[in-house]
Every structure is written in structure tokens, then in C-alpha cells.
């Protein structure tokens, strides 16, 4: 088994994890979670989203969150932005990186973003220019790569087509997302291998949901195909308001535990991460999918 | 990704799954679960255990269970036996196959079975002879292959040593078990490859617990190493009374879903299996780890 020597984990719990929890999480609690995460050794955190508060009320405090968080050296604080207006706000707030989400399918893009895929790609192009002008990078989160709740199965050809257009629009890093948790490990391997064969320099990341229990197996499959960037959410919190049936993101501590146990370095302190998962569970006030939060790491006797 | 074309899944929920639930499950309910499983297309079920009722009270009705279950053609009804006395009872009750459990480590074997590993291997030899005389086969379930709660990490050399001795004692199939849920996918690959290199004709099976969320990833790793026999427990029920911190077996429906979605044929009807998981959840009267029971298989729009 040949695996990458190290992996870059982005914890998306403050944004993707909390977004579906409604507007009930106090800003102070978000700041507490983000600061705790920043002290685990993690190198990238998706902090919040600069989407219009009417669309995502739970992220209405985006500016405030950025104002209050501690800025730990070595941590990149990423913000999701829907358009140039959001990018301007995020840059003014002090985001280190921007993240634009768009979909592989027209059905999901229309329902989720009220735009065609072509319009979203132009939006990304404009955001990427604004980011570059500010000395920052803009990444892409590409939704429903492995299956769409509206358009059904997604072919590799559609994925490659959108990827081509995104790269033409300036994308250097794309996170391929299984938004509704329908990917299987074989599909992950085939998808990654096809993309890499076509675009060897693209930074390929993967974003899985554990809806049907395959999140961690899909991470493994991606790793074996050479991917070393993964989104994950501490405690496994999160869902997608636009993706019926989707449950939590793949759990950060369970993912880090697997990687470290196989000798893939994440730079993350697992015990500190489990403490963050405890904070996240407190915030959402319901059971969370994390296994390590229940079992703990193995204490060798 | 090269995978076996088909896989043999043994559902261990009636024995390994229910054993830790105490003596509270009525025999009729066990029979109902076993009969439901037998109609899913599954080919092997671990029905019960012929251990002394004082040691495992929840399996005191082993003879009665075998008397009452329907015998579906194509299904092998397996019984766990601790010794020749148990083997005689299981054969008289009509078991199709016998299963002997012993440990890789002295520490676990002494605490779990009150014998040395050498004594357990001699017990297996005697059971295998009794089985052969009755025209049956005896398999081995080898515990704590990937780590022991008493003796700590387990080296590949210890695993190969016990395997050698078991094969000398007549073993043709060994299920290598991660009893306490500490295996990682890389370790699974290395273990399987080493065993197969040494014993190409041995039927290698794997038995995982999902304690730290790696159960399904470990199945994937085993599959990629060519293994096509897996134990699993419907609804993910089960634990081990002798393994502190161990949680449920890897979930049958989640495993079958992964295999079938990757084109590995199990012969099992997934919807019928999810119905069995519902029965299992009813029996244990508590939340179960199954993901598919919550999310269902993906209904392509």
C-alpha cells in the first residue's frame, strides 16, 4: 500500500458543519470552536460563509467571527464566498483564502445557487481575479461529483468537462465533493485517476459525507490514488440543506486517526482534536457521528 | 482497483451480535431474525454458540434455536463451539459448520477462554476431527490479530506463528479478527499479504469491529488484497464482553452496499437485508450503528 507521506486536512465544521444547525449557535461559541481547532496543528479551517444572511441566516455573523477569532500562525482561515460582493467582504474581514462552491450538474446548481453552471463558472472567474488582486487564492468546492439528488448519476465525462472549464477559468485547486453521500471507493479511484491523468498539476482534494457509511473508505481510496487534501468536519457534524438525506461530513478525528495510524502525517494532535469534537457536540446539542469521541484512541496497554 | 468478483458474507448477528445483549432476547425473536436473514440470499449465518450456559447465558437456548429455525436451501447454519462437548451438541442440533474461536495472544486467550493458546489449538484439532467424522468443516475465528487489550500491539510474526500451528492442526479457513477495533487499513493489507504469501491455499476471512470507524475501510483494504470472506453483523449490533471498549461488528448492510456498489457480487438483496436490520434493532431495543438503516440505499431520481 503506497500512500502520500502527509495530508492537508481542512476542517469545515465552523461553516459546513454549523450551517445546517440554524441561527442558534452564538458567535462566541463559533469563535471558541475555531480557536480550539487552530491549536490542534490543523493548517486550514473553513471559518464561515459570506453568503447573504437572508439565504443562510446561520452565517450572518461572518464579519464578526473573523473579527473575534485568534489568528494562529501556520493556520489558513478560509471563507466561502458566493460572488464578488462576498469576496470583497471576506477579504476586508481578513480571510486568507476564498472558497467558491458550484455544482457538477445543472439541476443541483439551479436549485442550490439559482444559476446555470456556466454562470457559476463565470462567478468563480471573477472571484479568482479579485482574490489574485488581493494576493490570495480562490479554491473551488465542486458539488455532487458522484451523484445528484435531482439529475441522478453523474458521469465521469461531466466531471471532466466542468473541471476543464474551471481550470480555464483559473482554478488551481478543486475539492471534488460527494455532497449527498453516494460515492463508492471504486468510483473515487476512477474519478481521481481520470482527473489526474488529464490535469497532473491540479491540486485535487476530496470532500465526503458519511451518509451511507463510506466516508472513511472513500478517503482511503482517494489516498491510495495519491490524493492528499481532504475536507472533514470535527465530530462529524454537518449536512446540506439543499441535499435531501445528506448527513454529516466525514469526521475529522476519525479521518486523522486513520491517516496517522497508517503513517500519513497530518501534523494534528489527535487528543486536542477530540477535545474540539467535544466542543462541537456541545454546540450542536445533539448526538454526533464521531467514533473516536466515543471510543477514544487506542491506549496501548 | 482490482477486486474479487464476489464475496461470501457471514452474518454473525444472531451469535456475536446478540451475545452481549444478555439473556433478555426471547428464542422466538432470535429465530425470527435468523429466518429473515436466511431469506436475503446470504449464504452463511452464525446461528448461536454451544458454550456452557453459565459462561454465556444469552446463548443457553442454542439447541432450541436450531430446533426452531427454518432451513433455507443454500444457507449454511454455523455454530460456535468451545470444545468437543459443544461440537457434539452442535452436530446433534444440526449445525452445518462449526466455528472455534481462539486468540493470537496468551493474555486474551487466558482471560477469554481460560486456556493457553497451545491448549486452544489442541481443542481446535479435536473439534476439527469430530467435525470431519460427521462430514462437516470447522473454521477458526482468530481473535485480537491486530492488537490485544491485555498484551498490546500484536506483531505479524505472532500472527504467522499461530496461523502455522492452526494449519498444522487442520485449519482450512481462518477468520482473522480485529476484536477490539484497532486495525488500520495498511496493517490489514500487510497482514493479509504475508499470510497469503505463506499459505496460498488457506481460505482467509476477515472480521472487523467498527469501534474507531475503520471497519468498512478495513473491509475495503482486505478486498483490495484479494480477501472475499467477511464477517458482519446486521444493523452493526454486537460487542465483546471480554474486550473492553469494543463496539459493534462491521454492519452487514453497509458492507453489502459498498461491495455491490463496486460490482462485487454478494448474492444478497439489500432491501431485504435492511428489513433484517430493522428486526435486529427491535430486538436489542437501542440505537444501532447502521448507516443504511437511517439513510437507505440511494434511490436514483
Q: Tell me the chain B residues in contact with residue A214 when contact means C-beta distances shorter than 8 Å.
A: 216, 254, 257-258
- Residue B208 binned pLDDT confidence (cut-offs 50, 70, 90): very high
In a domain, A2, yes or no: no
Residues A258, B214: C-beta atoms closer than 8 Å: yes
In a domain, B277, yes or no: yes
Mean pLDDT of chain B: 95
Residues 6+ apart with CB under 8 A from B40: B268, B269, B272, B273, B276
pLDDT in tens, B134-153: 999 999 999 999 999 999 99
A161: pLDDT strictly greater than 70: yes
Question: What b/e readout covers A174-186, taking b as 16+ CB neighbours within 10 angstroms?
Answer: bbbbbbbbbbbbb
Q: Tell me the Cα Rg of chain A.
A: 18
Residues A292, B213: C-beta atoms closer than 8 Å: yes
Residues A295, B153: C-beta atoms closer than 8 Å: no
Residues B245, A217: C-beta atoms closer than 8 Å: no
Residues A216, B216: C-beta atoms closer than 8 Å: yes
Cα of A239 to nearest chain B Cα, Å: 12
B296: pLDDT strictly greater than 80: yes
C-alpha cell at B38: 436466511
Quote the CA–CA distance of A217 and B221 in Å, as a whole number. Answer: 9
Give the pLDDT confidence score for residue B24 in this predicted structure. 80
Give the pLDDT confidence score for residue B216 in this predicted structure. 98
Quote the CA–CA distance of A234 and A132 in Å, as a whole number. Answer: 30
Element (H, E) at A25: none
> How many CA atoms, within 13 angstroms, populate the side-chain half-sphere of residue A36?
20
Pick from B213, B222, B292, B301 the residue to mutate for testing the A interface (most A CBs within 10 Å). B213
Contact of B40 with B269, CB cutoff 8 Å: yes
C-alpha cell at B103: 486468540
pLDDT in tens, A181-236: 999 999 999 999 999 999 999 999 999 999 999 999 999 999 999 999 999 999 99
**A57: CATH:** 3.20.20.70
- Residue B174 binned pLDDT confidence (cut-offs 50, 70, 90): very high
Whole-number Cα distances in Å, A113 to A74, A123, B146, B284: 32, 11, 47, 44
Q: Tell me the chain A residues in contact with residue B181 when contact means C-beta distances shorter than 8 Å.
A: 295
Nearest-5° angle of CA A100, CA A164, CA A146? 70
Cα of A221 to nearest chain B Cα, Å: 9
In a domain, A300, yes or no: no
Q: What is the mean pLDDT of residues A105-121?
A: 97
Residue A152's domain comprises: 8-295
Q: What is the 3-state secondary structure (H, E, C) of chain B?
A: CCCCCECEEEECHHHHHHHCCHHHCCHHHHHHHHHHHHCCCCCEEEEEECCCCCCCHHHCCHHHHHHHCCCCCCCEEEEECCCHHHHHHHHHHCCCEEEEEEECCHHHHHHHHCCCHHHHHHHHHHHHHHHHHCCCEEEEEEECCCCECCCECCCHHHHHHHHHHHHHCCCCEEEEEECCCCCCHHHHHHHHHHHHHHCCCCEEEEEEECCCCCHHHHHHHHHHCCCCEEEEEHHHCCCCCCCCCCCCECEHHHHHHHHHHCCCECCCCHHHHHHHHHHHHHHHCCCCCCCHHHHCCCCCC
Centroid of chain to Cα B52: 20
- Residue A247 binned pLDDT confidence (cut-offs 50, 70, 90): confident
- Residue B155 binned pLDDT confidence (cut-offs 50, 70, 90): very high
What is the interface pTM, i.e. ipTM, of the complex? Answer: 0.96
Q: Where are the beta strands (DSSP E) in chain A?
A: 8-11, 44-49, 76-80, 97-103, 137-143, 173-178, 203-208, 229-232
Cα of A161 to nearest chain B Cα, Å: 22
Please tell me the pTM assigned to this model: 0.97
Say yes or no: A244 contacts chain B, CB-CB below 8 A.
Answer: no
Among B225, B220, B193, which residue's Cα sits nearest to residue A220?
B220
Quote the CA–CA distance of A245 and B83 in Å, as a whole number. Answer: 48
Quote the CA–CA distance of B132 and B98 in Å, as a whole number. Answer: 10
Give the pLDDT confidence score for residue A29 in this predicted structure. 96
Whole-number Cα distances in Å, B172 to B45, B164, B176: 18, 11, 13
In a domain, A170, yes or no: yes
Say yes or no: A212 contacts chain B, CB-CB below 8 A.
Answer: yes
Q: Tell me the chain A residues in contact with residue B189 when contact means C-beta distances shorter than 8 Å.
A: 1
Helix (H, G, I), strand (E, B) or coil at A4: coil
C-alpha torsion angle, residues B59, B64, B70, B74 (rounded to 10): 50
Give the pLDDT confidence score for residue B157 in this predicted structure. 97
Q: What is the mean pLDDT of residues B109-131?
A: 97
- Residue B55 binned pLDDT confidence (cut-offs 50, 70, 90): confident
Q: What is the mean pLDDT of residues B74-84?
A: 98
Nearest to A298 among B147, B297, B301 (CB): B147
B127: pLDDT strictly greater than 60: yes
In a domain, B301, yes or no: no
Quote the CA–CA distance of B193 and B174 in Å, as a whole number. Answer: 14
**Residue for cell digits 459443544?**
B86
- Residue A246 binned pLDDT confidence (cut-offs 50, 70, 90): low
Say yes or no: B262 contacts chain A, CB-CB below 8 A.
Answer: yes
In a domain, B1, yes or no: no
pLDDT in tens, B214-248: 999 999 999 999 999 999 999 999 875 555 555 78
Quote the CA–CA distance of B184 and B168 in Å, as a whole number. Answer: 29
Contact of A138 with A173, CB cutoff 8 Å: no
Pick from A5, A144, A208, A212 the residue to mutate for testing the B interface (most B CBs within 10 Å). A212
Give the pLDDT confidence score for residue B93 in this predicted structure. 98
Among A122, A67, A130, A64, which residue's Cα sits nearest to residue A97?
A130
Higher pLDDT, A242 or A33: A33
Nearest residue of chain B to residue A154 (CA atoms): B300
Number of domains within chain A: 1
Question: What b/e readout covers B45-66, taking b as 16+ CB neighbours within 10 angstroms?
Answer: bbbbbbbeeeebebbbbbeebb
Q: Angle between the B215-224 and B185-198 helix axes, to the nearest 10 degrees?
A: 40
In a domain, B300, yes or no: no
pLDDT in tens, B2-40: 999 999 999 999 999 998 776 689 999 999 999 999 999
- Residue B166 binned pLDDT confidence (cut-offs 50, 70, 90): very high
In a domain, B174, yes or no: yes
pLDDT in tens, A6-20: 999 999 999 999 987
Quote the CA–CA distance of A175 and A193 in Å, as a whole number. Answer: 14
Nearest to A184 among B217, B258, B294 (CB): B258
Cα of B271 to nearest chain A Cα, Å: 14
Quote the CA–CA distance of B202 and B72 in Å, as a whole number. Answer: 28
- Residue A244 binned pLDDT confidence (cut-offs 50, 70, 90): low
Amino acid at each position: 500500500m503506497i500512500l502520500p507521506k502527509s495530508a492537508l486536512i481542512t476542517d469545515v465544521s465552523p461553516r459546513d458543519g454549523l450551517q445546517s444547525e440554524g441561527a442558534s449557535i452564538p458567535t462566541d461559541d463559533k469563535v471558541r470552536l475555531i480557536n480550539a481547532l487552530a491549536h490542534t496543528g490543523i493548517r486550514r479551517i473553513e471559518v464561515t460563509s459570506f453568503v447573504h444572511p437572508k439565504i443562510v441566516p446561520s452565517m450572518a455573523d461572518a464579519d464578526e467571527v473573523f473579527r473575534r477569532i485568534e489568528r494562529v500562525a501556520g493556520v489558513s482561515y478560509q471563507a466561502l464566498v458566493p460572488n464578488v460582493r462576498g469576496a470583497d467582504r471576506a477579504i476586508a474581514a481578513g480571510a486568507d483564502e476564498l472558497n467558491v462552491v458550484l455544482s457538477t450538474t445543472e439541476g443541483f446548481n439551479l436549485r442550490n445557487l439559482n444559476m446555470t453552471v456556466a454562470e457559476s463558472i463565470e462567478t468563480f472567474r471573477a472571484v479568482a481575479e479579485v482574490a489574485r488582486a488581493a494576493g490570495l487564492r480562490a479554491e473551488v468546492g465542486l458539488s455532487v461529483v458522484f451523484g445528484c439528488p435531482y439529475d441522478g448519476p453523474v458521469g465521469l465525462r461531466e466531471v471532466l468537462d466542468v473541471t476543464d472549464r474551471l481550470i480555464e477559468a483559473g482554478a488551481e485547486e478543486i475539492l471534488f465533493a460527494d455532497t449527498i453521500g453516494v460515492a463508492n471507493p471504486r468510483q473515487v479511484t476512477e474519478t481521481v485517476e481520470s482527473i489526474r491523468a488529464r490535469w497532473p498539476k491540479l491540486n485535487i482534494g476530496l470532500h465526503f459525507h458519511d451518509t451511507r457509511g463510506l466516508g472513511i473508505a472513500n478517503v482511503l481510496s482517494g489516498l491510495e490514488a495519491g490524493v492528499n487534501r481532504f475536507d472533514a468536519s470535527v465530530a462529524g457534524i454537518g449536512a446540506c440543506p439543499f441535499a435531501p438525506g445528506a448527513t454529516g461530513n466525514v469526521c475529522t478525528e476519525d479521518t486523522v486517526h486513520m491517516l496517522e495510524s497508517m503513517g500519513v502525517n497530518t501534523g494534528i494532535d489527535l487528543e486536542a482534536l477530540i477535545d474540539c469534537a467535544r466542543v462541537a457536540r456541545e454546540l450542536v446539542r445533539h448526538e454526533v457521528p464521531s467514533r473516536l469521541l466515543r471510543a477514544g484512541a487506542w491506549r496501548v496497554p
